[in-house]
Structure 1
Amino acid sequence: MLHIRFTAEDMSRVRFAPRPSPVPELHAALLMLGAPHEGLLFGRWRGRLLRTLPGAAEPLGELVPGGAAPRFLDVLGGTREEGFALIRSARPEFVRSELARVYAGQGAVPPWVRALHRGDATAWDTLDRAQRAAHETVLAPVWPLVQDLHRAEFTRYALTAAEQGLAAALAAVAPGSRLRDGVWEWPSAPSTRSALEAPEARDDPAARGAGAAREASEGPEPGEVGEARAARATREVRLGGRGLVLLPTFHWRGGPLVQDLPDRPVVLAYPAGGGLPPAPEPRGARSDDRGLAAALGRTRAVVLRALAEPRTTTDLARRTGIGNATASAHAAALRAAGLITTTRTGRSVHHEQTPLGMLVVGTTP
């Protein structure tokens, strides 16, 4: 089991990540590659990625020699570039201590990892290329779908919290969990230990062939999660006023992945979505804009997107290429649906997206 202990201060510091974070999502996907017990549901997805994962990604597996990853890889970041930059900006002493920790008792250290330990720029370039190669193969083809799934999960959490309170919203994140006396109690997750410590993956030929499959335990605080001992013991995480960030992940089906680093908010990545890994849309499938247009109508979707910043009716008409009367009519319909607000200052009328409208078009700040 997992127990997350809140202080009174932490209750006001629970937040939901406003958008998916590429690096943790990538690491969760790579972690799933090394989980053969999920073959029934993830088998086809896993086989496809193991066949297509490029050799440039191989160094990632060498960073996880015993199934636990160095914690300088535990970053968030709103974009891929931001996440990779955060990894590279890790303090040299932290990088050295973490590499020493994961390689303790693991035998020979690859030359490039030794160079990374010394802070060699070429070794950092090797890691950067490996991350990018894995991202382009595993995550980039499905990233628009991940963004859609995240928006839906964000909305579900926000509505539950608003209507029923924090305890109900947290319980909805993990069915069977409960917030009681300041402790969020998670149910047992038997697959957590075997997946994160990955003994099966190390014995699996396909996972060895991918190399980077074992790197997956780079996900949020993998070493810490592995210590949970699954159903036999309870892991305690004390927030201590640091707060908690909830981050849904759509490629991981095991137990919660916890990033618990000093002086940072605790990040909890939890499995979300429909139970299957996101799949690339077939060629010719509708884009996000076309999907929104199908729901609202093409012109109304354009109007809603144009209101990411406040605009007068005249400015809106000019921006979208329609008449003032048409712009006013579409604004009225969007306002009635709760997607925009309209304010009047003197003789000027300004329209702007509501938080719900931002969610619908994916412009949530």
Structure 2
Amino acid sequence: MTRICFTAEDLARVRFASRPAPLQELNAAMSTLCGRDHAVLLGRWRRRLFHALPPAAAPFADLVPAGEAPAFIDIFSDDLKDGLESVRASRPELVRSELERVHAKHPSPPPRWIHRLHRGDADAWQLLSRAQHTAFETVLRPVWPLVQDLHHQEFVRYAATVAERGIGAALAALVPGSRLTDGVWHLEAPGAHDIALGGRGVVLLPTFHLTRHPVVADLPGGPLHVTYPAGPGLPLPVSAAGRSDGALAEVLGRTRLEALLLLADEHTTSGLARRLGVSNATASAHTAALRGAGLISTARAGRAVLHRRTELGSLLVHQRRSPPGRPSSNHKAAEGC
């Protein structure tokens, strides 16, 4: 049981994250992907993602060897590029201590690149950044519009509870079995911790890929962050990502809509096929149709054929959505990652 002690100042500084955090949602998804909870219910989701994850994402598993992530990858920025830069800017002493902590619990020695990361090697940092970005693009990008919608719904639900019943009731409602009594929030979280906030306040962040307990990030120099499971309790299916885009899906077809969402970034035909879970021939047919409608452009780079969404395609899918942390329709966040 974790006990979080509030002062009156802390209660006044309870905030709900206005937008989802790409890297923290990724941490939740990868934890669920590599865990053993709900083995039957999650089996299909896990098999699909294990098949789809490119080799470039493999270092992520090395970083979290026993299911517990080092604290320096707990990043709460709502922009993917900024989040990746924040990981790279982590204090060297924090990186070293956290790598030592998580690998001390694992019987196998860490791979060489982890040793290099421990020393601050620039190539090791680049390897980690590429792994995080690749994992996000494969695991979360197809369902990110749905994550954004669910986050907004959770935000509204929390705000309504605060308005009607107060902060104490709203906090207790976030995590089943938790309670706020005499200024102390009791909740089930890993380990037994007594945390005195001392005026720092709390930031609440829902996640839609975590199926177990909340995660408490008590990093120095800022507010306490509590990431808690919300939504349906199971990872989001790719097929659900376009539900609120029903009219567009009726016109394009579900797979072509998913392809259009993915092509905010450049993809080869084979890369797109892998992410959609279809054959190369099927992906080629879909890109031909989208190109004929002016929604994507195709260019050759050596032997590779590269596809990317056009401004017209972006206009269609960004009427009310945007990539992580960028409320504009020109998908600059994706370009910078």
Q: Which residue of 2 aligns with 1:39?
A: 39
Distance 1:108 1:4 in 2: 35
Amino acid at match of 1:78: D
Amino acid at match of 2:185: W
Is 1:268 aligned to 2:269, yes or no? no
Displacement of 1:20 in angstroms is 0.3
Does the CA contact (< 8 Å) of 2:175 and 2:214 recur in 1? no
Displacement of 1:158 in angstroms is 0.6
- Alpha carbons of structure 1 residues 284 and 75: separation in structure 2 relative to 1, 3 Å: closer
Runs of 4+ in 1 over 6 A off after TM superposition: 288-291, 362-365
Q: Which residue of 2 aligns with 1:61?
A: 61
Give the match's secondary structure for 1:184.
strand
- Alpha carbons of structure 1 residues 177 and 362: separation in structure 2 relative to 1, 3 Å: farther
Give the match's secondary structure for 2:213.
coil
Displacement of 1:143 in angstroms is 0.2
Give the match's secondary structure for 1:41.
helix
Displacement of 1:122 in angstroms is 1.0
Does the CA contact (< 8 Å) of 1:56 and 1:129 recur in 2? yes
Aligned length: 254
Q: Please show how residues 69-80 of structure 1 align to structure 2 within 5 Å.
A: 69-80=69-80
Is 1:287 aligned to 2:245, yes or no? yes
Distance 2:191 2:242 in 1: 46
Q: Please show how residues 317-328 of structure 1 align to structure 2 within 5 Å.
A: none
Is 1:108 aligned to 2:128, yes or no? no
Give the match's secondary structure for 2:239.
coil
- Alpha carbons of structure 1 residues 285 and 266: separation in structure 2 relative to 1, 3 Å: closer
Question: Unaligned 5+ residue runs, structure 2?
Answer: 250-319, 328-337
Displacement of 1:275 in angstroms is 2.2
Q: Which residue of 2 aligns with 1:181?
A: 182
Distance 1:28 1:142 in 2: 14
Q: Please show how residues 111-150 of structure 1 align to structure 2 within 5 Å.
A: 111-150=112-151
Q: Which residue of 1 aligns with 2:214?
A: 256
- Alignment counterpart, residue 191 of structure 2, candidates 210, 224, 227: 227
Question: Unaligned 5+ residue runs, structure 1?
Answer: 189-224, 229-234, 292-360
Q: Which residue of 1 aligns with 2:99?
A: 99
Deviations 1:112-167 (A, max 9, x none): 11221222211111001111111111110000000000000000001111122111
Q: Which residue of 1 aligns with 2:165?
A: 164
Give the match's secondary structure for 2:38.
helix
Does the CA contact (< 8 Å) of 1:54 and 1:133 recur in 2? yes
Does the CA contact (< 8 Å) of 2:34 and 2:67 recur in 1? no
- Alpha carbons of structure 1 residues 45 and 8: separation in structure 2 relative to 1, 3 Å: same
TM-score, normalising length: structure 2 = 0.69
Displacement of 1:285 in angstroms is 5.5
Give the match's secondary structure for 1:153.
helix
Q: Percent identity?
A: 53
Distance 1:75 1:285 in 2: 29
- Alpha carbons of structure 1 residues 362 and 129: separation in structure 2 relative to 1, 3 Å: closer
Does the CA contact (< 8 Å) of 1:151 and 1:362 recur in 2? no
Does the CA contact (< 8 Å) of 1:2 and 1:185 recur in 2? yes
Displacement of 1:283 in angstroms is 9.5
Does the CA contact (< 8 Å) of 2:179 and 2:185 recur in 1? yes
Give the match's secondary structure for 2:4.
strand
Does the CA contact (< 8 Å) of 1:70 and 1:102 recur in 2? yes
